[in-house]
Chain A
Amino acid sequence: MTDISKDAIAPPRSFLSQDAIQVFYRLLAALLICAVLAVLSDSFLSLGNILNVLRQASLTFFIASGLTLVVLTAGLDLSVGANVALSACIAGTVIHKTGSPALGILTGLACGGIVGLLNGVMVTALRIPSFIATYGMLWVLNGLTYWYMAGETLHDFPAGFRQIGSGYLFGLPIPVYLLLVFLGIGTLFAQRTIWGQEIYAIGANPVAARLSGIPVARRLLLVYAVSGTMAGLASIIFLSRLNSAEADIGESLTLPAIAAVLIGGTSLFGGVGTVFGTFIGALILTLVLNGMNLLSVSANWQPLVTGIIVILAVWLDMKTRRRAQ
């Protein structure tokens, strides 16, 4: 009773401004981490390090942005890391065989997209819970990649192709420009298109979404395909930056991507979150890991810290939302 009357008296809060407040808190947190790191480490504020953080964050963001859409529908894609590995290895092979980076890029994107589409089919047509379906996909992809590569490493890609991941334009790394482009596209798609709004509606209440005529299965297929394609894009950036492809490059990518989405304020229960929040999430996670690196903490600590951050992020999110209700 009391809840209802309180809701009736309180002024209506617009959905977007609530999101804006959430993003603002996270920006503050990122700035706070920057301030602490600037005090603790002399090299943090160097131009080289800041560009390094941005480049690193952009890699996490590419994977995490597609994943954000999946999580907005209350799903999860655990196969993104393994998808990056397979797409990178296949794209690398195509570049080596044909000598054409463009063909390699297209193959990488297509490979990622097809894997995503298969995830979507498992979730919609076969009705397997997304976290199990994509977890199964993770191991299928892992097996395929290791079998395909048979312990080999691909390297020595054309210099022009390597520019994508390691080149600069007007003093900024090229991946940072790509990050801005996809941040813009992702935000516009999610906030300003009907399809984007339908994705929010599906996550908030799938039954209501279906009853109001949204083609739920088709939108879900789209969302998983986009997540896969973004993993394909990330594989291209990885390939060109590392200048090598191995079967195991995807193993340490999934947890950070999920962490970025959750730190960014996208709710696991669907319907709430923004692509911009995920960008801030990727930035915060990268800052923390970069800071550990600058303070000479062994890289062995990274999975432990990322795991703790994932749990903390979900818990904080649930707590603030419970209070907001």
Chain B
Amino acid sequence: MREAAVVSQSNPLQRIPGVAIVLVLLIAVFGAIAPGFLSVANLSNVLVQSTILTMLALPMTLIIMTEGLDLSMGAVLTLTSLCVAIVSLATKSMLLGLGAGLLVGAAFGTVNGWLVAILGIPPFVATLGTLGMAQGLSLIVSDGQSVVGIPHSVRDIYSATLLGVPVPIVMALASYAAFHGLLYHTRFGTYIFALGGNREALRYAGLSPNRLLIAVYAIGGAMAGIAGLLMTARMNSGHPTAGLGLEFDAIAAVAVGGTSFERGNGWLLGTLLGVLSVGVLRNGLNLISLPSSVQVASVGVLVIVALFLDGLRSRA
């Protein structure tokens, strides 16, 4: 475990260049070719739009650190967003809506963790199965239709400000602080490093790797629940395909941010920079009026390049 801690402290310094260079390059390129990219209004727009992705990418970092993966996150976000919409519509209460989203998200995360840890099903297949389940449940609870007419208290979350800072950004920063504290300053965080790097050590230390693993996936589901509230607020409705493919942006952010898929070391600040890279890329392509399809394809290329570079580094 001491080894894991040393890895976590030394590697980030070597990694700062990688993702930071990507981000600076993207900003420089779009600043040069995309009109209005560097305006304050647009940059704050990029930040606000990156908040939902931040909520997914932070727990995705922990999951990937355990040599796992959660392909169901986008579909679970869709389902929790619908739950928030339906429950807040029925009860007129934003908090009850959030509670429903959190509950459903955490339940899905727990099922993911259970399938991976207890049944031993490879994570990408287990979460592919729950992706289908969440997608199906979204269609069933919404009957394939948008849920509209949700209370103002939900919508206002996306547009409100706290001391001049938009509330979504406050929520994203608070999440980052919580995850940073959890990963680097608690025993649980050290165990997460060990889950990926040295699972045997946990067993010798008398801990249950299975329970820890379930907790990691459950946190991911719960965060998808909170992100579901933001999604519903942003769209001012619940929609059965709202989160389609968002898990891929999250995986992209984590991969670009320098967290390795195979060696159990992760870097949360890198993930945050990765989220911003994905956000800048999508926003910039949007400004030079390339359709969202090209944005999707370019994020795909970004992931493959990042993984290729990661592979080169690990062999070097």
Q: Which A23-81 residues sit within 8 Å CB-CB of chain B? A: 76, 78
Asked if A146 and B296 make an inter-chain contact with CB atoms under 8 angstroms apart, the answer reads yes
14 additional A-B pairs beyond A304-B135, A307-B133, beta carbons within 8 Å, are A126-B311, A128-B311, A131-B124, A132-B303, A139-B297, A139-B299, A140-B301, A146-B293, A301-B136, A307-B129, A307-B131, A307-B132, A311-B130, A318-B119
Residue of A nearest to B248 (CB): A139
Residue of A nearest to B115 (CB): A311
CB neighbours of A318 from chain B (8 A): 119-121
CB neighbours of A315 from chain B (8 A): 115, 119, 121
Q: Number of A interface residues, CB 8 Å? A: 44
CB neighbours of A131 from chain B (8 A): 69, 124
A27 to B132, CA, bound (A): 25
Asked if A128 and B307 make an inter-chain contact with CB atoms under 8 angstroms apart, the answer reads yes
Which of B36-44, B54-62, B137-145, B181-189 touches A? B137-145
Asked if B297 and A142 make an inter-chain contact with CB atoms under 8 angstroms apart, the answer reads yes
A127 to B115, CA, bound (A): 27
Residue of B nearest to A254 (CB): B128
Asked if B131 and A136 make an inter-chain contact with CB atoms under 8 angstroms apart, the answer reads no
Asked if A300 and B304 make an inter-chain contact with CB atoms under 8 angstroms apart, the answer reads no
Asked if B261 and A129 make an inter-chain contact with CB atoms under 8 angstroms apart, the answer reads yes
A131-B124, A132-B307, A311-B130 known; A140 vs B297 contact (CB < 8 Å): yes
Judged by a CB distance under 8 angstroms, whether A185 is at the interface is: no
Minimum CB–CB distance from B123 to chain A (whole Å) comes to 9
CB neighbours of B121 from chain A (8 A): 311, 314-315, 318
A138 to B304, CA, bound (A): 11
With beta carbons under 8 angstroms apart, the residue of A137, A268, A301, A306 that contacts B300 is A137
Asked if A314 and B136 make an inter-chain contact with CB atoms under 8 angstroms apart, the answer reads no
CB neighbours of B120 from chain A (8 A): 318
Judged by a CB distance under 8 angstroms, whether A242 is at the interface is: no
Asked if B248 and A135 make an inter-chain contact with CB atoms under 8 angstroms apart, the answer reads yes
Judged by a CB distance under 8 angstroms, whether B71 is at the interface is: yes
CB neighbours of B291 from chain A (8 A): 146-147, 150
24 A-B interface contacts by CB (under 8 A): A122-B304, A122-B308, A126-B308, A128-B304, A129-B261, A132-B255, A135-B248, A135-B251, A136-B248, A142-B245, A143-B296, A143-B300, A144-B293, A145-B293, A146-B296, A255-B132, A300-B136, A305-B136, A307-B128, A307-B130, A307-B136, A308-B133, A311-B121, A315-B121
A7 to B122, CA, bound (A): 28
Judged by a CB distance under 8 angstroms, whether A245 is at the interface is: no
CB neighbours of B261 from chain A (8 A): 129, 132
Q: Which B255-280 residues sit within 8 Å CB-CB of chain A? A: 255, 261-262
CB neighbours of B131 from chain A (8 A): 255, 307
Judged by a CB distance under 8 angstroms, whether A133 is at the interface is: yes
Asked if A303 and B303 make an inter-chain contact with CB atoms under 8 angstroms apart, the answer reads no
A268 to B69, CA, bound (A): 16
With beta carbons under 8 angstroms apart, the residue of B133, B292, B304 that contacts A133 is B304
Judged by a CB distance under 8 angstroms, whether A93 is at the interface is: no
| A interface secondary structure, majority | helix
A303 to B75, CA, bound (A): 11
A139-B297, A143-B297 known; A314 vs B248 contact (CB < 8 Å): no
CB neighbours of B129 from chain A (8 A): 307-308, 310-311, 314
Judged by a CB distance under 8 angstroms, whether B223 is at the interface is: no
Asked if A139 and B296 make an inter-chain contact with CB atoms under 8 angstroms apart, the answer reads yes
Asked if A303 and B124 make an inter-chain contact with CB atoms under 8 angstroms apart, the answer reads no
CB neighbours of B303 from chain A (8 A): 132, 136
Asked if A306 and B307 make an inter-chain contact with CB atoms under 8 angstroms apart, the answer reads no
Minimum CB–CB distance from B1 to chain A (whole Å) comes to 26
Residue of A nearest to B124 (CB): A131
Minimum CB–CB distance from B121 to chain A (whole Å) comes to 5
A131-B124, A143-B297 known; A307 vs B135 contact (CB < 8 Å): yes
Asked if B132 and A303 make an inter-chain contact with CB atoms under 8 angstroms apart, the answer reads yes
Q: Which A106-155 residues sit within 8 Å CB-CB of chain B? A: 122, 126-129, 131-133, 135-147, 150
A143 to B308, CA, bound (A): 21
Judged by a CB distance under 8 angstroms, whether A191 is at the interface is: no
Asked if B139 and A300 make an inter-chain contact with CB atoms under 8 angstroms apart, the answer reads yes
Asked if A304 and B307 make an inter-chain contact with CB atoms under 8 angstroms apart, the answer reads no
Q: Which A273-325 residues sit within 8 Å CB-CB of chain B? A: 298, 300-308, 310-311, 314-315, 318
Judged by a CB distance under 8 angstroms, whether A258 is at the interface is: yes
Judged by a CB distance under 8 angstroms, whether B89 is at the interface is: no
Residue of B nearest to A255 (CB): B132
